Amino acid sequence: MVFHFPCHNIDSDGFDRENLCLSITATVLSASLLVGLTTSLILFCSHFHQVEGDRNVGKMSPLVRLGTERGSVVVKWAVMILYSLLFAIGLSRALPLSCIFLCAMTSPIGKLVVSYVEENHKDKGKIFMAKYYCVRFHALFGAALVAGLITARILVTKHIPKLVFQ
């Protein structure tokens, strides 16, 4: 299923030219969902070192409400959900297999983020670095996603011999 959002450009002659400005496909939605999750992880982990200060001024951020220990569980679940969604999206063929394979290769840094937060959620000095690990995770996951999309495009546009028995 593809959604097209038309836009109208009126040129200097007053002629209305309709162009397709945006096509929202399952691939676009899937990639957006995965990148959005990694972005949310950055934002969530950015608050671990601020819990005490937020609580003192009455700011009820998600981590103030949850506490850092339960927050570390949220990080673990978020990473597990990210990779579960990646594989589910792969099974649905919304993303090419090259994306699934390359993004799956980022799992060691995902595990690093989870381990770091689990081990250091109580240490305000160390947990500060969690957001930077998340940024690295986000960048690597996004680069793997893009590389997978580019690889799939190259493979599709190259001449691939067809099977004899189709």
Note the pLDDT tens digit of each residue in 27-76.
Answer: 999 999 999 999 999 999 998 888 888 888 988 888 899 999 999 999 99
Examine residue 19 and state whether it is found in any structural domain, yes or no.
no
Examine residue 1 and state whether it is found in any structural domain, yes or no.
no
- The total number of structural domains in the chain stands at 1
Q: What is the CATH number of the domain that holds 127?
A: 1.20.120
Give the domain range for residue 113: 26-157
Examine residue 90 and state whether it is found in any structural domain, yes or no.
yes
Q: What are the CA-CA distances from residue 102 to residues 35, 62, 155 (Å)?
A: 14, 32, 15
Examine residue 50 and state whether it is found in any structural domain, yes or no.
yes
- As a residue count, the chain comes to 166
Question: How many CB atoms within 10 Å of residue 126?
Answer: 14
Examine residue 132 and state whether it is found in any structural domain, yes or no.
yes
Tens digit of each residue's pLDDT (9 = 90 or more) over 131-160: 999 999 999 999 999 999 999 988 877 655
Q: In terms of DSSP H, where are the helices of the chain?
A: 26-45, 51-56, 62-66, 68-92, 97-104, 107-120, 124-127, 130-157
In the chain, the amino acid numbered 41 is L
Beta bridge partners of 20: 6
